[in-house]
Structure 1
Amino acid sequence: MPFKDLKEFLDFLEEKNELVRIRKEVDPKYEGTAIAKKMDKEGGPAVLFEKIKGYGPEVSVVANVLGTRRRLAFGLETTEKNLVDEYLKRREKLVPPKKVNTGPVKEVVEKGEDIDILRSLPVFTYHEGDASPYISAGVVVSKNPETGLLAAGIHRVQVRGKNKLGALVLTPPVSTAYNKAEEMDKPLDVAIAVGLEPATLFASVVLAPMGPDKFTIAGSIRNEPVELTGCETVDVEVPAYAEVVVEGKLLPKLREVDGPFGETGGYYVTTESPVLQVNAITHRSRFIYQVIVPWTAENMILFGTSWEGELYKTVKTAIPAVKALHLTVGSGCAHAVLMVKKRTDEEARQALAFILSVNPFIKHAVAVDEDVDIYNPKEVEWALATRFQGDKDMVVLNQLPGSVLDPSTGKNWTTTKIGFDATKPLTEVNKYRKVRVPEEIEKKVEENWDTYF
């Protein structure tokens, strides 16, 4: 059975020793971030802050919820090994959302003069250069004004006043909905849902600019419909079991400075974004406010896993020799590792050239053989150190589209991309035989691990 809400998942994580509680009072300005980042660097568990400075006992904050592939696998009810394959398999069956009259997110409703975003919500200020607090784990939900289809995705949201936000909606489908509304010179009804169960949060970042809607994708991943309920002041449906929902209107043809904000790429970004006028805040009577701390593993695991799946499909269709693909956490998903079962020595380099050309976010790529664990950085480095020669195994592509989050890119975000062929020459396979314990003994030890202690 899929998790009903965030709290149910956190209870599960606690049972698995994958969550710690911080009972000491923590300041939402910088201090909570510092604790979460230290836990992230150590590969530690999710962190539940039970006492937030300036807020009552009914408010808590959670960070690093999906900070490891293990916890994401728990959230999607699969295994680390099968994460990508299971995601792709479940996407094949569409499970549309189910509309309900109300839900726990409506237990408290604040409107009009009662609205004061920072009085109600413990929005974190993450880094010393940030201009203000930012909502970082909010799923922005809207409707396309032409088609009526729901649009959703995680976008950075800046707190600018008691009832004023800035929403940087640069990517579809939410950007498409906003652009259509702006063409009509009309505000766009939006809601920001915070504190969702893991499958719905994961689905919100899946690349699906042409549909289906993200809640249908979430239902597919959950194998059960997501329950949606209508908002109080805008024509948008949101997850009924969310912890918090902020409702408002994204105003047309009005931009204000957004930032600086310490982004997922590890640098501050200042831009302009539309103004979001807040009409209402609804939440549970006791709610858990979720944060995704920028430039941590959670960012990369949440976004990168579905990207891996979609990119793998594209690459494998063009180059069938590619058997698996991984986007590395440390690079912010800018580095790809390809497992290749090559039939010719050119095939690995063809795969490298293809992935570097087809995706602007991939800056460097490494091709390895099937005997290398692409999820183990130690083994990938080993392959680079012992199976790669710079004068003959490097693929260099100049003046390709790069990432807007990479400050080293040139004019119009162009960049040079490099591929590293760290696969064994087919004429010298035996020379590169990897040491290992016999497979049957490894399997025996794995199956009987607990009996050794």
Structure 2
Amino acid sequence: MVEDLRSAVEELKKYENQIAFTDTEVDSYAEVAGIYRYVGAGGTVKRPTKEGPALLFRNIKGFPDKQVLIGLLASRKRVGCLLDCPPDKLGFLLKDAAANPIMPEFTAGGDVPCQEEIHYASEEGFDIRKLLPAPQNTEEDAGPYITMGMCYASDPVTGEGDVTIHRLCLQSADEMTMFFTPGVRHLDAFREKAEREGVNLPISISIGVDPAIEIASCFEPPTTPLGFNELSIAGALRKKPVRMAKCRTIDEYAIANAEFVIEGELVAGKRMREDINTNTGKAMPEFPGYTGHVSGELPVIKIKAVTHRKNPIIQTCIGPSEEHVSMAGIPTEASILTMEEKALAGRVKNVYAHRSGGGKYMAVIQFAKQVPSDEGRQRQAALIALTAFPELKHVIVVDEDVDIFDSDDVLWALNTRYQGDVDTITIPGVRCHPLDPTEGPEYNPMLKDRGISCKTIFDCTVPYGLKDRFQRSKFKEVNMEDYEIRPLV
């Protein structure tokens, strides 16, 4: 059973073309991401790119005893292998896990994998930049980033804990900045409560964990409201609690079998410009495929210690890659399916958070009209999706005979079952996501703030009364095992 990053790597060795490695010396400065762009990044990365295996870099310049793994989740098929689920059913798996959570198990610490080696910030010569081979994805980035860190903190009032992923830029020997997307983010709410009291917020960042934790951590409200610990979804996926270990220097917990753990505190009231070391004005590549602009005032984490396993593996990703699609998109599908089933039982057959939207901006809904009164409910399904995941920008609704995971088939429906003047529904002035470069007053003067968008529904379903006229050609069903087909050489 997969229970940590190392067992995940071993599991993938069983499958063809799902994991690869290189022993060639590679620089974490721009080279790791530059190589993986060609190997298997996919997603919204600038072409040429493709879907390919995860890649383990075993010879990182300046870090002789550490490795870098990239692209672990950059394939829906690979996620299916790691979660033991058919790729087209992953949304349903996550939906059921969210409905049947298993809370994490908290232990006092002691002999735990993530604390095999300990480096205290109080020690002379401590420098996190020399301990972690955190990649810088492009030469214009603000600096090296931790992109796959499971950030764990607790509500200073209620004590309820939560885990999320944020971009973390290493700024000095013992400081990093933390970016929060504006809106409802659990850890940001905890930070605000602590700041109002004038106290620092203890926080742990676990890097290199069971991929079930990485997927589960990407759920968002309303599916997982404030106070819901997403580690319980990971527990449900593995059918056992996620084990948490007490940190060595702060009053908080970390994921016990992580490869690395950073222990620190979000310092009350302290802010730092993200590109303070580079002055490029650029942060890092983000999921829409563009490099994000730096934030002028980000919260600062003061690092207290770094712990890790022997010969640790730091896990990373390219922001716009298929990895983001898997991590953000599959929980999005689960959230939509949960609400659709409550409102329109049996009508929505499946949902795909499309890769072109980074798993956030676009959803394709497969809808089955079963009776005449279902006409119009397909548009209700689209509205429900926009409610289930507020960062959605576009929803495409297709019939049950369309493969939602095949973009060509979806575009076929758009071309043969859609008329722009009657099948387009627009909802202007709705809050979406600030990383979309069209969502701001400079693009559309009618928009009052960044992150506001016109949400659009594309109804590519056949009107119920015309279904007989839109039957796809019916080919003979055959059993391909009856035929021996070999390459012609």
**Do the structures match in fold with TM over 0.5?**
yes
Note the C-alpha offset of 1:235. Answer: 1.1
Distance in 1 separating the partners of 2:195 and 2:382? 40
In structure 1, the residue matched to 2:279 is none
Given candidates 128, 131, 142, the residue that maps to 1:120 is: 131
Please, which moves more after superposition, 155-164 or 92-101? 92-101
RMSD of aligned Cα (Å):
1.9
Whether 2:173 is the aligned partner of 1:162: answer: yes
In structure 2, the residue matched to 1:242 is 258
In structure 2, the residue matched to 1:146 is 157
What percent of counterpart residues are identical? 29
- Report the residue type matching 2:187 in the other structure: V
In structure 2, the residue matched to 1:220 is 236
- Report the residue type matching 1:370 in the other structure: E
In structure 2, the residue matched to 1:44 is 52
Structure 2-normalised TM-score?
A: 0.87
- The CA deviation string for residues 326-359 of structure 1, in whole angstroms up to 9 with x for no partner, is 1101112211111111244323233334434664
In structure 2, the residue matched to 1:129 is 140
In structure 1, the residue matched to 2:4 is 5
SS in 2 for 1:29: coil
- Report the residue type matching 1:93 in the other structure: N
Whether 2:334 is the aligned partner of 1:309: answer: yes
Given candidates 287, 292, 298, the residue that maps to 2:317 is: 292
Distance in 1 separating the partners of 2:256 and 2:125? 22
SS in 1 for 2:164: strand
- Report the residue type matching 1:416 in the other structure: C
In structure 1, the residue matched to 2:448 is 411
In structure 2, the residue matched to 1:73 is 80
Q: Is the 8 A contact 1:357 1:400 kept in 2?
A: no
Q: How does 1:313-328 map to 2 (within 5 A)?
A: 313-320=338-345, 321-328=347-354
Distance in 2 separating the partners of 1:88 and 1:450? 39
Distance in 2 separating the partners of 1:11 and 1:249? 34
Please, which moves more after superposition, 154-163 or 342-351? 342-351
Distance in 2 separating the partners of 1:355 and 1:97? 29
Moved over 6 A (4+): none
Given candidates 390, 411, 414, the residue that maps to 1:381 is: 411
SS in 2 for 1:87: helix
Note the C-alpha offset of 1:280. Answer: 0.4
- The CA deviation string for residues 84-132 of structure 1, in whole angstroms up to 9 with x for no partner, is 1122223333322223433111111001234211111101111233111
Distance in 1 separating the partners of 2:318 and 2:310? 25
Distance in 2 separating the partners of 1:149 and 1:166? 23
SS in 2 for 1:28: coil
Note the C-alpha offset of 1:402. Answer: 2.3
Please, which moves more after superposition, 310-319 or 404-413? 310-319
In structure 1, the residue matched to 2:431 is 401
In structure 2, the residue matched to 1:264 is 287
Whether 2:232 is the aligned partner of 1:195: answer: no
Given candidates 109, 112, 118, the residue that maps to 1:109 is: 118
Structure 2, unmatched stretches of 5+, are: 42-48, 276-281, 440-446
Whether 2:199 is the aligned partner of 1:186: answer: yes
In structure 2, the residue matched to 1:432 is 470
- Report the residue type matching 1:429 in the other structure: K
Q: Is the 8 A contact 1:297 1:330 kept in 2?
A: no
- The CA deviation string for residues 201-220 of structure 1, in whole angstroms up to 9 with x for no partner, is 21221222334312222111
Note the C-alpha offset of 1:233. Answer: 0.2
Structure 1, unmatched stretches of 5+, are: none
Relative distance call for 1:12 and 1:266 in structure 2 (3 A) is: same
- Report the residue type matching 1:29 in the other structure: Y
In structure 1, the residue matched to 2:442 is none
Distance in 2 separating the partners of 1:430 and 1:245? 59
Whether 2:227 is the aligned partner of 1:206: answer: no
Note the C-alpha offset of 1:438. Answer: 4.0
Note the C-alpha offset of 1:154. Answer: 0.4
SS in 2 for 1:26: coil
Whether 2:241 is the aligned partner of 1:231: answer: no
Relative distance call for 1:200 and 1:449 in structure 2 (3 A) is: farther
Distance in 2 separating the partners of 1:206 and 1:398? 25
Please, which moves more after superposition, 243-252 or 399-408? 399-408
In structure 1, the residue matched to 2:377 is 347
SS in 1 for 2:420: coil
Q: Is the 8 A contact 1:95 1:217 kept in 2?
A: yes
SS in 2 for 1:81: helix
Whether 2:61 is the aligned partner of 1:53: answer: yes
Please, which moves more after superposition, 272-281 or 81-90? 81-90
SS in 1 for 2:97: helix
Q: How does 1:8-23 map to 2 (within 5 A)?
A: 8-17=7-16, 18-23=18-23
Structure 1-normalised TM-score?
A: 0.93
- Report the residue type matching 1:47 in the other structure: L
Q: Is the 8 A contact 2:404 2:410 kept in 1?
A: yes
In structure 2, the residue matched to 1:92 is 99
Please, which moves more after superposition, 15-24 or 96-105? 96-105
- The CA deviation string for residues 128-159 of structure 1, in whole angstroms up to 9 with x for no partner, is 33111111000111111111122211011011
Relative distance call for 1:206 and 1:356 in structure 2 (3 A) is: closer
Given candidates 380, 396, 414, the residue that maps to 1:366 is: 396
Distance in 2 separating the partners of 1:244 and 1:450? 51
Equivalent pairs, count = 446
Whether 2:461 is the aligned partner of 1:423: answer: yes
